[in-house]
Amino acid sequence: DSGVTQTPKHLITATGQRVTLRCSPRSGDLSVYWYQQSLDQGLQFLIQYYNGEERAKGNILERFSAQQFPDLHSELNLSSLELGDSALYFCASSVRDRDHNEQFFGPGTRLTVL
Amino acid sequence: AQSVTQLDSHVSVSEGTPVLLRCNYSSSYSPSLFWYVQHPNKGLQLLLKYTSAATLVKGINGFEAEFKKSETSFHLTKPSAHMSDAAEYFCVVSVETGGSYIPTFGRGTSLIVHP
Protein backbone atom coordinates (compact mmCIF):
# COMPACT_ATOMS: atom_id res chain seq x y z
CA ASP A 1 0.00 0.00 0.00
CA SER A 2 1.55 3.27 -1.19
CA GLY A 3 -0.48 5.51 1.11
CA VAL A 4 -2.10 7.28 -1.85
CA THR A 5 -5.84 6.80 -2.12
CA GLN A 6 -8.05 7.32 -5.13
CA THR A 7 -11.82 7.27 -5.40
CA PRO A 8 -13.80 5.87 -7.00
CA LYS A 9 -12.09 2.68 -8.14
CA HIS A 10 -14.40 2.29 -11.10
CA LEU A 11 -16.58 4.78 -12.93
CA ILE A 12 -18.93 4.07 -15.81
CA THR A 13 -20.59 6.97 -17.55
CA ALA A 14 -21.90 8.12 -20.91
CA THR A 15 -20.47 10.34 -23.61
CA GLY A 16 -20.95 14.03 -22.98
CA GLN A 17 -21.00 13.66 -19.23
CA ARG A 18 -18.69 15.13 -16.60
CA VAL A 19 -16.92 13.24 -13.83
CA THR A 20 -14.63 14.07 -10.94
CA LEU A 21 -11.81 11.82 -9.78
CA ARG A 22 -10.40 12.30 -6.32
CA CYS A 23 -6.93 11.71 -4.93
CA SER A 24 -5.53 11.92 -1.41
CA PRO A 25 -1.73 12.03 -1.31
CA ARG A 26 0.50 10.36 1.26
CA SER A 27 0.68 12.16 4.54
CA GLY A 28 3.30 14.90 4.25
CA ASP A 29 3.52 14.88 0.45
CA LEU A 30 2.93 18.28 -1.10
CA SER A 31 3.10 17.36 -4.77
CA VAL A 32 0.37 15.56 -6.71
CA TYR A 33 0.61 14.24 -10.26
CA TRP A 34 -2.12 12.94 -12.55
CA TYR A 35 -1.57 10.36 -15.27
CA GLN A 36 -3.71 8.68 -17.90
CA GLN A 37 -3.00 5.11 -18.95
CA SER A 38 -4.64 3.73 -22.07
CA LEU A 39 -3.83 1.00 -24.54
CA ASP A 40 -3.50 3.55 -27.36
CA GLN A 41 -1.34 6.16 -25.68
CA GLY A 42 0.39 4.26 -22.91
CA LEU A 43 1.08 6.16 -19.70
CA GLN A 44 0.83 9.92 -20.16
CA PHE A 45 1.59 12.65 -17.67
CA LEU A 46 -1.32 15.08 -17.41
CA ILE A 47 -0.63 17.68 -14.76
CA GLN A 48 1.21 18.37 -11.51
CA TYR A 49 0.26 20.45 -8.49
CA TYR A 50 2.48 21.48 -5.64
CA ASN A 51 1.03 22.86 -2.41
CA GLY A 52 -2.08 24.07 -4.17
CA GLU A 53 -0.46 25.58 -7.24
CA GLU A 54 -0.18 24.19 -10.74
CA ARG A 55 3.46 23.32 -11.37
CA ALA A 56 3.67 21.49 -14.69
CA LYS A 57 1.38 20.54 -17.53
CA GLY A 58 1.68 17.59 -19.84
CA ASN A 59 -0.70 16.19 -22.40
CA ILE A 60 -3.87 17.38 -20.73
CA LEU A 61 -6.88 18.19 -22.88
CA GLU A 62 -8.72 21.48 -22.46
CA ARG A 63 -11.81 19.48 -21.44
CA PHE A 64 -9.86 18.27 -18.42
CA SER A 65 -8.94 20.34 -15.40
CA ALA A 66 -7.54 19.73 -11.97
CA GLN A 67 -7.03 21.46 -8.67
CA GLN A 68 -5.36 20.85 -5.35
CA PHE A 69 -7.14 21.94 -2.20
CA PRO A 70 -5.72 23.39 1.05
CA ASP A 71 -5.85 19.96 2.65
CA LEU A 72 -3.68 18.80 -0.31
CA HIS A 73 -6.16 16.40 -1.82
CA SER A 74 -6.63 16.82 -5.53
CA GLU A 75 -9.46 16.40 -8.00
CA LEU A 76 -9.31 15.77 -11.72
CA ASN A 77 -12.38 16.95 -13.61
CA LEU A 78 -13.16 15.43 -16.99
CA SER A 79 -15.96 17.01 -19.01
CA SER A 80 -17.70 16.45 -22.37
CA LEU A 81 -16.50 12.89 -22.15
CA GLU A 82 -15.71 10.94 -25.29
CA LEU A 83 -15.27 7.23 -25.85
CA GLY A 84 -11.54 7.78 -26.16
CA ASP A 85 -11.35 9.08 -22.62
CA SER A 86 -11.88 5.57 -21.32
CA ALA A 87 -8.67 4.78 -19.46
CA LEU A 88 -7.04 4.17 -16.11
CA TYR A 89 -6.30 7.43 -14.32
CA PHE A 90 -3.53 7.40 -11.76
CA CYS A 91 -2.64 9.89 -9.13
CA ALA A 92 0.85 9.98 -7.60
CA SER A 93 2.36 12.04 -4.83
CA SER A 94 5.84 13.05 -3.76
CA VAL A 95 7.38 15.16 -1.06
CA ARG A 96 8.87 17.90 -3.21
CA ASP A 97 8.55 19.27 -6.71
CA ARG A 98 11.95 20.68 -7.60
CA ASP A 99 13.69 17.42 -8.29
CA HIS A 100 12.55 14.06 -9.39
CA ASN A 101 12.11 12.29 -6.13
CA GLU A 102 10.18 9.08 -5.86
CA GLN A 103 6.53 9.24 -6.78
CA PHE A 104 4.08 7.04 -4.93
CA PHE A 105 1.19 5.89 -7.07
CA GLY A 106 -2.38 5.25 -6.07
CA PRO A 107 -4.31 2.20 -7.30
CA GLY A 108 -6.02 4.19 -10.04
CA THR A 109 -9.57 4.94 -11.16
CA ARG A 110 -10.81 3.00 -14.16
CA LEU A 111 -13.08 5.19 -16.26
CA THR A 112 -15.34 3.63 -18.84
CA VAL A 113 -17.23 5.93 -21.20
CA LEU A 114 -20.12 4.26 -23.05
CA ALA B 1 12.51 17.21 -26.12
CA GLN B 2 12.86 13.86 -24.47
CA SER B 3 11.73 10.39 -25.39
CA VAL B 4 12.16 6.84 -24.23
CA THR B 5 11.97 3.61 -26.19
CA GLN B 6 11.51 0.24 -24.60
CA LEU B 7 12.81 -2.12 -27.19
CA ASP B 8 10.66 -5.13 -26.32
CA SER B 9 6.94 -5.11 -25.67
CA HIS B 10 7.15 -8.62 -24.16
CA VAL B 11 9.99 -10.59 -22.61
CA SER B 12 9.56 -14.22 -21.66
CA VAL B 13 11.99 -16.03 -19.32
CA SER B 14 12.06 -19.15 -17.23
CA GLU B 15 12.19 -18.94 -13.47
CA GLY B 16 15.78 -18.81 -12.27
CA THR B 17 17.19 -17.39 -15.53
CA PRO B 18 18.48 -13.83 -16.03
CA VAL B 19 16.21 -10.94 -16.97
CA LEU B 20 17.12 -8.15 -19.39
CA LEU B 21 14.65 -5.36 -20.17
CA ARG B 22 16.01 -2.83 -22.63
CA CYS B 23 15.50 0.93 -22.62
CA ASN B 24 16.97 3.65 -24.80
CA TYR B 25 16.37 7.31 -24.19
CA SER B 26 16.74 10.61 -25.94
CA SER B 27 17.25 13.84 -24.05
CA SER B 28 18.70 17.27 -24.76
CA TYR B 29 19.93 17.64 -21.21
CA SER B 30 21.24 15.45 -18.44
CA PRO B 31 18.32 13.21 -17.63
CA SER B 32 17.13 11.43 -14.58
CA LEU B 33 16.12 7.87 -15.43
CA PHE B 34 13.84 5.47 -13.61
CA TRP B 35 12.34 2.04 -13.77
CA TYR B 36 8.86 1.43 -12.37
CA VAL B 37 6.99 -1.85 -12.04
CA GLN B 38 3.24 -2.32 -12.30
CA HIS B 39 1.66 -5.54 -11.11
CA PRO B 40 -1.81 -6.41 -12.41
CA ASN B 41 -4.52 -4.09 -11.13
CA LYS B 42 -2.01 -2.10 -9.09
CA GLY B 43 -0.39 1.30 -9.26
CA LEU B 44 3.24 1.78 -10.24
CA GLN B 45 6.09 1.21 -7.83
CA LEU B 46 9.60 2.64 -8.16
CA LEU B 47 12.27 -0.03 -8.73
CA LEU B 48 15.30 2.23 -9.04
CA LYS B 49 16.47 5.62 -10.24
CA TYR B 50 19.57 7.21 -11.76
CA THR B 51 20.25 10.88 -11.01
CA SER B 52 23.87 11.46 -12.15
CA ALA B 53 25.61 9.64 -9.34
CA ALA B 54 26.89 6.06 -9.80
CA THR B 55 26.17 4.67 -13.26
CA LEU B 56 25.27 1.24 -11.87
CA VAL B 57 22.12 1.59 -9.86
CA LYS B 58 20.77 -1.05 -7.51
CA GLY B 59 17.09 -1.23 -6.81
CA ILE B 60 14.59 -3.30 -4.92
CA ASN B 61 13.98 -7.03 -5.36
CA GLY B 62 17.43 -7.70 -6.83
CA PHE B 63 17.04 -5.48 -9.89
CA GLU B 64 19.76 -3.19 -11.15
CA ALA B 65 20.32 -0.94 -14.14
CA GLU B 66 23.35 0.58 -15.79
CA PHE B 67 23.37 4.07 -17.25
CA LYS B 68 25.45 4.18 -20.45
CA LYS B 69 25.62 7.69 -21.80
CA SER B 70 27.49 6.74 -24.97
CA GLU B 71 24.76 4.28 -25.86
CA THR B 72 21.90 6.37 -24.40
CA SER B 73 20.70 3.23 -22.67
CA PHE B 74 19.40 2.29 -19.24
CA HIS B 75 18.76 -1.45 -19.36
CA LEU B 76 17.23 -3.25 -16.40
CA THR B 77 18.64 -6.59 -15.30
CA LYS B 78 18.16 -9.24 -12.66
CA PRO B 79 20.36 -12.34 -12.28
CA SER B 80 17.55 -14.76 -11.51
CA ALA B 81 13.87 -14.31 -12.25
CA HIS B 82 11.15 -15.19 -9.76
CA MET B 83 7.53 -15.93 -10.58
CA SER B 84 6.60 -12.82 -8.59
CA ASP B 85 8.57 -10.66 -11.06
CA ALA B 86 5.88 -11.15 -13.70
CA ALA B 87 4.56 -7.64 -14.28
CA GLU B 88 4.70 -4.62 -16.57
CA TYR B 89 7.90 -2.56 -16.41
CA PHE B 90 8.20 1.08 -17.41
CA CYS B 91 11.33 3.04 -18.20
CA VAL B 92 10.99 6.76 -17.51
CA VAL B 93 13.10 9.77 -18.46
CA SER B 94 12.71 13.07 -16.67
CA VAL B 95 14.35 16.38 -17.47
CA GLU B 96 13.99 19.72 -15.76
CA THR B 97 11.94 22.12 -17.86
CA GLY B 98 11.37 25.59 -16.48
CA GLY B 99 11.85 24.44 -12.91
CA SER B 100 9.60 21.42 -13.24
CA TYR B 101 10.36 17.80 -13.91
CA ILE B 102 8.06 16.29 -16.49
CA PRO B 103 8.35 12.52 -16.81
CA THR B 104 8.08 10.69 -20.12
CA PHE B 105 7.16 7.02 -19.90
CA GLY B 106 8.09 4.23 -22.26
CA ARG B 107 5.31 2.03 -23.62
CA GLY B 108 6.17 -0.70 -21.15
CA THR B 109 7.60 -4.22 -21.30
CA SER B 110 5.54 -7.12 -20.11
CA LEU B 111 7.73 -9.65 -18.29
CA ILE B 112 6.44 -13.20 -18.42
CA VAL B 113 8.03 -15.75 -16.12
CA HIS B 114 7.55 -19.46 -16.83
CA PRO B 115 7.90 -22.09 -14.09
Q: How far is CA B88 from the centre of its chain?
A: 10
pLDDT for residue B107: 94
Note the residue count of chain B: 115
Q: What percent of chain A has pLDDT over 70?
A: 96
Note the residue count of chain A: 114
CA distance B60 to B71: 24
Q: CB pairs below 8 Å between A and B: how many?
A: 55
Q: What mean pLDDT, rounded, does chain A reach? A: 92
Choose the weakest-confidence range: A5-9, A81-85, A102-106, B88-92.
A102-106
pLDDT for residue A79: 97
For residue B89, the distance in angstroms to the closest alpha carbon of chain A comes to 12
Residues of A contacting chain B (CB within 8 angstroms): 2, 4, 42-45, 48, 55-56, 58, 90, 92, 97-100, 102-103, 105-108
pLDDT at B89 over 80: yes
Determine, for residues B43 and A92 on separate chains, whether the beta-carbon distance falls below 8 Å.
yes
Q: What is the mean pLDDT of residues B66-74?
A: 93
Determine, for residues B105 and A42 on separate chains, whether the beta-carbon distance falls below 8 Å.
yes
* Torsion sign (Cα): A46, B77, B53, B29: negative
Residue B107: burial class (beta carbons within 10 Å; 0-12, 13-18, 19+) = middle
With cut-offs at 50, 70 and 90, classify the pLDDT of residue A101: low
Three-class SS of residue B59? coil
Strand intervals (E) in B10-108 = 10-14, 19-21, 23-27, 32-38, 44-50, 56-58, 64-68, 73-78, 87-97, 100-105
For residue B101, the distance in angstroms to the closest alpha carbon of chain A comes to 6
Q: What is the mean pLDDT of residues A9-22?
A: 97
Q: What is the mean pLDDT of residues B82-93?
A: 96
Q: Which of A31, A34, A35, A52 is nearest to A98 (CA)?
A: A31
pLDDT at B96 over 80: no
Strand intervals (E) in chain A = 5-7, 10-13, 19-24, 31-38, 42-50, 53-57, 64-68, 74-78, 87-94, 104-105, 109-113
Q: Of the ranges A38-47, A92-101, B77-86, which is most confident?
A: B77-86
pLDDT at A99 over 70: no
With cut-offs at 50, 70 and 90, classify the pLDDT of residue B31: confident
A85 φ, ψ (degrees, to nearest 5)? -80, -10
Determine, for residues A105 and B44 on separate chains, whether the beta-carbon distance falls below 8 Å.
yes
